[in-house]
Amino acid sequence: MATNNYIRKRVELLVFLSILSFWPATLWAGIAEIKVATASSMKLVFEEIGKEFHDENPEIIVRLSFGSSGNFFSQIVHGAPYDVFFSSDTNYPKQLAKKGKSLGDTPVALYAIGRIVLWVPDSVELDVKSKKTNTLLSSKVKKIALANPKHAPYGRAGIEWMKKSGIYSQVKSRFVLGENISQATQFVHTQAAQAGILALSLVGNSKMKSTGSFWEIPKDQHSPIEQGFLILKDTQNPLAARSFAEFVTGPKGTRILKKYGFDPLPVPRPVEGDCCNLPLQTTFPGRN
């Protein structure tokens, strides 16, 4: 039953993408622009993906916005003009689809599975790789940074891990909540916190490697952080949106996802089943 449902959903996705191929050519005239709402855990990934995509498609301007998935959900519900939404979970895109925010009958599709880590600055002088969970019980850890679990899937995964490990009640009073996972990373990197539950994708750069170390939290200690995307109903450039989504889930996007520690899927698998401050903007300009 589940297999048949999966096949049906997969066919729906492929048919939808095929239909878009025949969209009126006038939508391709001149330089197309797409606005992509992207979970902050994907910042480094999508900056690289955006650059490579633009190098191959200089006629398409890609404007990336980074923030918490929950905040993007609220913004899109209230009419924010995004073309594609890449969430750090599947729940928010599924809710948007139910509210009629998807383009046509396009299903929500998975594009990656995220990982969380426990990161500690070198200045704290704790061996997080050997202490693992017990790191958070050290008296040296006065504050623990994580993304707000109310609207950030990575924060929820961190809470789930701490509860499963039996330490949640002992450490919850020390939480410092970031608006999103990028802000939580900033908190611990600037030593406003002595430990942080962060996205693996954000700790592999030279800045984080040179100032701290991390331990990968086992996958079986929390629910999979399945990340889905949705092409949105109000897109003004459906072909350009489709092209970018295909790039992300294609071989080149998959290579970049793997580079940053994501568990990408071999194909974009269909899923079963107050607005906040505007986020940071990144632009890859087209030709003049």
Neighbours of 58 (CB within 10 A): 13
pLDDT at 204: 86
Question: Where are the chain's structural domains?
Answer: 2-113+225-284, 116-216
Which positions ≥6 away from 46 have C-beta within 8 Å?
A: 36, 38, 64, 66, 86
Question: d(Cα 56, Cα 30) in Å, to the nearest integer?
Answer: 16
pLDDT at 223: 93
pLDDT at 107: 83
pLDDT at 53: 96
Cβ atoms of 193 and 144 within 8 Å: the answer is yes
Does domain 2-113+225-284 sit in CATH 3.40.309.10? no
Residues of the chain below pLDDT 50: 2-3, 6, 17, 19-29, 268, 273-288
pLDDT at 13: 53
pLDDT at 283: 44
- Enter the pTM of the model: 0.77
Question: d(Cα 224, Cα 6) in Å, to the nearest integer?
Answer: 18
Question: d(Cα 7, Cα 53) in Å, to the nearest integer?
Answer: 29
Does domain 116-216 sit in CATH 3.40.190.10? yes
